[in-house]
Amino acid sequence: MSTTSIPATAIKEWDEVRSAFASSIMVDTALSSLAQNLDGLEWPFSGTDEKASTYLDYTYRELQAEFEGRGKPAAADLLTQILRETLSFDEPFGEMVKQTEISSQRENPMLKTLNRLSIPESYPIALTGLDVATRDLCRMEQVETIGQFAVFAQNVSKNVIVEGQFRELLNGLAHVDEKTLARYLPVRAGSTGVHLLEAFILADRSPDPVNQAAEAVAWFRGEAEHWRSQSILDRKFLERQLLAISDPALQDRVARLVVPHFVTKAAPRVTGWAKFVRIFKA
């Protein structure tokens, strides 16, 4: 077949096949091996580069010219046939793998813990109490949420040793250890879900408390709006929220994170909270 008279159907079929095969698990398998798995087909070339990935960037016209130059012009149509027929076996297998992965995730004990405690899988790693090293690991692995953390942790090879806070959070999720989880997630004893006050406490322990506190206010938008509306109606509302923190030093630090987001001016009554606000805003 001359490169000047290539049927449009051949070009169209090659473009469809090469696009589909790019995501195949067989993309780097030797073409001779793929051909052997199909009845009556044989790939005419040998060598380590004779695999589908070598040719997927070729247009059909370039493919035809390549094989004509090597004395095997029919190899272009043969390659299309090999990839097309391999896909007919590969696609059901890929779907099976996909379904297996979904099933495996459903059986993930850490995801079950999140569901049991009503902790949103979308809760950001950036708003946890994890240290810089663990955050950097998550960033490298593109783990942005606690749900992604659970999936990633389950898929980590058993031969890989994980230590530090990564391991602590992993174990806390695996064993529903709420005390451990409270070190890293804004959970509250005797309650489910995540909470803004605990998010402020985690922000205080973070590498950048001010920015993490601001991000927490944005993420807890609904609860933050409730705090704003209640603090307008009740001057002691914010003070009562902070009283849940038993450590005076921690209470003071968290208050300094809270004030910029919820206090516009000092309350006229001279309460301990009002005094603090005046001193802070002075």
Distances (CA, A) of 192 to 79, 168, 182: 57, 20, 12
Which is nearest to 255 in space by CA: 234, 235, 233, 240?
240
Confidence of residue 162 (pLDDT cuts 50, 70, 90): low
Residue 161 corresponds to which tokens in the numbers above?
């040793």
Which is nearest to 207 in space by CA: 109, 131, 124?
131
Each residue's pLDDT tens digit, 51-94: 999 999 999 999 999 999 999 989 999 999 999 888 876 554 44
pTM above 0.75, yes or no: no
Of all residues in the chain, what percent carry a pLDDT higher than 90? 54
232/81 Cα distance (integer angstroms)? 72
Each residue's pLDDT tens digit, 127-157: 999 999 999 989 988 999 999 999 888 776 4
Q: Are 217 and 261 in contact (CB under 8 A)?
A: yes
Each residue's pLDDT tens digit, 169-191: 988 998 889 999 999 999 998 88
Residue 30 φ then ψ, to 5°: -60, 135
Contacts of 278 (CB under 8 A, 6+ apart): 266
Contacts of 261 (CB under 8 A, 6+ apart): 213, 214, 217, 224
Q: Are 34 and 86 in contact (CB under 8 A)?
A: yes
211/124 Cα distance (integer angstroms)? 14
19/124 Cα distance (integer angstroms)? 35
